[in-house]
Structure 1
Amino acid sequence: MARIKDVAAHAGVSVATVSRVLNDNPSVTEETRDRVYAAMKELRYVPNAVARSLRTEATRTLGLIIGDILNPFFTELARGVEDEARQAGYTVIIGNADERAEEQDHYVRTLVEQRVDGLLICPTAEVTPLVEELVRTGRPLVFLDRTISGLDVPSVRADGATAIAELVAHLKSRGHRRIAFASGPATLSTGRERTEAFAAAMAEAGLDLRAEYMAAGDFREGSGRAITARLLDLPEPPEVIFFGDNLMTLGGLDEIRARGLSIPGDVAVASFDDVTWFVHVDPPITAIAQPTAEMGRTAVRLLLQGVAGRSGQSVVLPAELVVRRSCERKGA
C-alpha cells in the first residue's frame, strides 16, 4: 500500500504539503492540491483517516452529508434519516457540503475519523479520490438522492419521469403549448434525469421542445430568477415555466412578481419538489412531490444492511404530481 511519502514524491512536493492537503489547509494552492489528489488516485493511496478507521468497534453513529442545508428538500431528507436512525438506536452526525467537493471531502474525512459506522452522502458532481477510496475499502456507504456513474454504490433516489410526463400532459390539457424548463446542472444526476424526462414527455405529448426555452441553473434561487428574466424577455416568452427544484422556483416567483406579472394569467409556474409553503402562496403552486422523508428512512435501512455485512440493492421511489392552481389558463 502506498505511503504518504510515496504520494509526496510522485507529486513533487513535501510530505508536509501532502499533509496540509489532507487536512484542508487553505494555504495550499489549487494547482498543488490537484497534483496531490492526482498522485493519490494514481497510487491508490488510502488517506490515514480512512486507514485508521478500518476497525471493528461500533460507535452507533451514522454520518450524513447533504448538498445544501438551506434547501428545504435536504432539511426534510435529514429529518427522515434522523427519525429512522434514532428508531434503530443510532445517532446521526450531519455535514453540509454546500455543493462543493472540497467541503464534502472535509466532512467525509472528519466523519471517518470519528469512526461512524456508515456514511450517507448526497454526492457533489465531482468524484474525489477520497470518495473513491471509501468505495474501494468497502466502508458501509449509501448515496442519497443522487448517483455517480462508474461507482458501484447502493443508492436511494426518486424517479420523477412518470410525474413529469403527467405534468406535461396536464399542461397540454389546459391548452398550454409554449413550455420552458429551468433545469438543474447537467453535472448532477438529478439535473440530467429531469431534463431527459422533460424532453421525452414533450415528445410524447407532441409538443415542440424549443431550444430557447431550455436553461440549466444550479438548484438555487439566483439562477432561477436569472433564467426567468431571460425567458420573459424573449420575443415570444413561454406560457409556462417548469422549475427543476423548489429554490429555483422561489427565484422565479421573485422575478415574476418584481415585474408585476400575474400567475397564471401572464405566466404559469410548476416546480419539481413540493414544499409546505407552496400551498400558502397565491395561487398555490403545482409541483412534483418526491417521497423525501421516505427516501431518508429507506437509505438508513439500506445502510444498516451494509453495517451488518449484508449487501443491499439500490432503491428507486416514485414521485407524484400534485396539481394546484398555478397552471390554469386565463378564463379556465
Structure 2
Amino acid sequence: MVHHPEATGATMKDVAEKAGVSTATVSRALMSPEKVSAATRQKVEDAVTAVGYSPHTLARNSKRSESRTILVIVPDICDPFFSEMIRGVESVAAAVGYLVLLGDCAHQNQQERSFLDLMLTRQIDGMVLLGSQVPFDSTNEEQRALLPMVMANEFAPELDLPTVHIDNLTAAFEAVNHLLRLGHSRIACIAGPQDMPLCQYRLQGYIQALRRSGIAVDPHYIVRGDFTFDAGSRAMQYLMALPEPPDALFCHSDIMALGAMSEAKIMGLRIPQDISLVGFDDIELSRYSDPQLTTVSQPRFEIGREAMNLLLEQLQGKIVNSGSRLLDFELKIRGSTAPSLRDENAR
C-alpha cells in the first residue's frame, strides 16, 4: 500500500480538480456524504488520497454545529479608516462568544483560495465584508450560498446582501455644498478608484452639487487616487499646475485630503486662506492635522456593530432582508475650510 503524507499545501480545490467535480461537491461529500451518490463519494475520497489533502479540520468541525468564528474581509488592513469598524464588529462578536478573523483583500489574489477553503470546510460561520470585494467568484451562486454574509460600508446591489452604510451621494453633495456656500466656485475632487461603488456615489454627489449651483463640471478638476497619502500629494501637484488651479478641494477620503494638505504646505500655500479642503471619514488623524480637517463623519463603530448584529440574526436562523440599512452622517466643519478670498475681495 502506498502511504500518502498529510497535506502540505493541497486544498479542496485540488481535490475538486482531481475528482472532476466542484469544490461545493467535495465539501458535501466530506461533510454530508449521504447527500451525494456513492460513485461521487468514491471519486472524492480517491482524489483526497491522491493529492494528499487532510480534511481533519473539516471532520472536527462537522461534529459541531458551528465554529463560533466569523471572517471580516478588509479592503486594506493598513488603512486606519477600517479600525473603528472592525472594533464595532468585535464588540458584538465578543459579547456572544465569537472569534473574529481578519482577511486582507489588498492581497486577495494570493489568499482567495484560502478564504474559500475556510468557507467550504465550515471553519467560519459567516462573513462581514467591509468593501465591495468578495473572496470568491461572486457570479458563482453555489459559492455565494455557502455562508451568511453582510456588507458594511459599501453597497453592491448585484450581490443581494444585507448592507450597512451611509448615503454617500448625499454626504458628498453636502460637503461640496459647504464649499459653495463659502463662495468657492473652482472646486476640484480627488476621487477614489472608479470601480468602487461608494466612489461612484461620492463623485455623483460632487457633480450634482456643482450643477445645482450652475457650475460646469471641469474634467480636469477630477483626479483619481487610491486612498493613500501619496495619491493626495500627487493629485495636489497636478491640480495646482493647471492654468487655472482650484481654490477648494473635496476628497473622497481623509487620508488623501491629508496628503493633499501636506503637499499644499510644501508648495507654500496657506490653508484655508489659499485653498480650502474637505475630507471624508473623520479618522482620528483628521482632528490632529494643522489646521484640523473639515470632513464627513461616518459612524464607523456603529456600522461595524450593526453589520455584526445582522450577521448574528442570520446565524440564529432569522430571515434578514437584503438591501440597505442607512446610518446618519455628519459634516464636521473645522479649520481647513473658510470663505473664498475672491468672494471676500468682491465685497
Please classify the TM superposition score into its range, dividing by the shorter chain length.
0.7 to 0.9
Query: Among 308, 313, 317, which residue is 1:305 paired with?
Result: 313
CA deviation vs aligned residue, 1:257-298 (integer Å, no higher than 9, x gap):
221221112211110111122222221110001111100000
> What is the deviation of 1:161?
2.5
Q: 1:82 to 1:134 in 2, by over 3 A?
A: farther
Query: Among 310, 329, 332, which residue is 2:339 paired with?
Result: 329
> What is the deviation of 1:243?
0.9
Letter in 2 for 1:329: P
* Gaps in structure 2 of 5+ consecutive residues: 1-9, 32-57
Is 1:80 aligned with 2:54? no
CA deviation vs aligned residue, 1:33-89 (integer Å, no higher than 9, x gap):
xxx9xxx9xx86538569757956212221111111121111111011111111222
**2:72 and 2:293 mapped to 1: Cα distance?**
30
Paired residue secondary structure (1:262): coil
Is 1:197 aligned with 2:175? no
Q: 1:47 to 1:104 in 2, by over 3 A?
A: farther
Is 1:319 aligned with 2:319? no
- 1:33 matched residue in structure 2: none
Is 1:109 aligned with 2:87? no
Paired residue secondary structure (2:336): helix
Report the structure number with the largest CA radius of gyration.
Answer: 2
Q: 1:219 to 1:104 in 2, by over 3 A?
A: farther
Instruction: Point out the more displaced range, 310-319 or 132-141.
Output: 132-141
Query: Among 224, 227, 251, which residue is 1:243 paired with?
Result: 251
**2:110 and 2:285 mapped to 1: Cα distance?**
29
- 1:183 matched residue in structure 2: 191
**1:70 and 1:273 mapped to 2: Cα distance?**
15
Retained in 2: the 8 A contact 1:135–1:151? no
Is 1:234 aligned with 2:242? yes
TM-score, normalising length: structure 1: 0.80
Is 1:57 aligned with 2:35? no
Q: 1:224 to 1:46 in 2, by over 3 A?
A: farther
* Gaps in structure 1 of 5+ consecutive residues: 1-18, 24-35
**2:229 and 2:145 mapped to 1: Cα distance?**
38
Retained in 1: the 8 A contact 2:254–2:286? no
> What is the deviation of 1:245?
0.8
CA deviation vs aligned residue, 1:8-40 (integer Å, no higher than 9, x gap):
xxxxxxxxxxx67948xxxxxxxxxxxx9xxx9
TM-score, normalising length: structure 2: 0.76
Paired residue secondary structure (1:318): coil
Q: 1:45 to 1:21 in 2, by over 3 A?
A: closer
Letter in 1 for 2:331: L
**1:221 and 1:106 mapped to 2: Cα distance?**
31
CA deviation vs aligned residue, 1:147-196 (integer Å, no higher than 9, x gap):
33422222212213333222222212211111011111120111111111
TM alignment of 1:1-332, pairs within 5 A: 22=13, 46=24, 48=26, 57-98=65-106, 100-103=107-110, 105-106=112-113, 108-109=115-116, 111-112=118-119, 113=121, 115-125=123-133, 128-129=136-137, 132=140, 136-313=144-321, 314=323, 315-329=325-339
**2:138 and 2:158 mapped to 1: Cα distance?**
15
Paired residue secondary structure (1:182): strand
CA deviation vs aligned residue, 1:218-265 (integer Å, no higher than 9, x gap):
122222211111001101110111111122122212211221221112
Q: 1:49 to 1:208 in 2, by over 3 A?
A: farther
**1:137 and 1:278 mapped to 2: Cα distance?**
40
Q: Identity over the aligned pairs, expressed in percent?
A: 30
> What is the deviation of 1:302?
0.5
Q: 1:318 to 1:135 in 2, by over 3 A?
A: farther
CA deviation vs aligned residue, 1:104-151 (integer Å, no higher than 9, x gap):
625523543461111112345578427845654241111222233422
Q: CA RMSD in A?
A: 3.0
**1:318 and 1:91 mapped to 2: Cα distance?**
28
